[in-house]
Amino acid sequence: MGFFGDLFSSETKPEPGTPVLAKDALITNLLALNRETCPYQVKKSDDTNYDLVAEWKIVDAKWYQIFAKAGLKKVFQVWLKLDESTSTVSTTDKEYSINWVAGIPNLSLSTEAFVGKKTEFSFGTAIGFTEELKPGVIYNYTFSTKEIKEPLKQTTLASGWSYK
């Protein structure tokens, strides 16, 4: 493909010799990324154009308090389409605005909605009095699109599929 073609290519291929798993096995592996301690979830898509969607757990009661305290203004999603004929996972990034009403998330498609590929990083720390009435860190967070994308990509490549 040449230096510049490789440099700007958005497709990543698995290591040569990596066994290619069936589509159902790849879906199982991607869904296995879900864990309670993770701020995002991977789930089957209701949109027939995609197989899966990975998104921040913005409506999960355990997580939305953290997102609200962090002042998160946008929700990031990665939509995945699995093409078994080419063993390729194609992704589309989508972003939605959040309005917090009494600490509860209200999601709406932003007038500045984004569809394509995107990288974002948010972080913050709050210092104050802890439950022990001593000064300390009340919360400390980082939210990065890479936190969602990288596990999807690594799981896809380890399953013998290309990721773009």
Residue 152's H or E segment, with its range, is helix 145-158
Neighbours of 139 (CB within 10 A): 13
Of 55, 24, 50, nearest to 39 (Cα)? 55
pLDDT by 10-residue block (mean), the chain, 164 residues: 47 95 98 90 95 87 71 80 97 79 54 46 44 50 76 97 96
Per-residue pLDDT, 4: 41
Per-residue pLDDT, 49: 94
Radius of gyration from C-alpha coordinates of the chain: 18
Residue 23's H or E segment, with its range, is helix 23-31
DSSP 55-83: EE-TT-HHHHHHHHHHT--EEEEEEEEEE
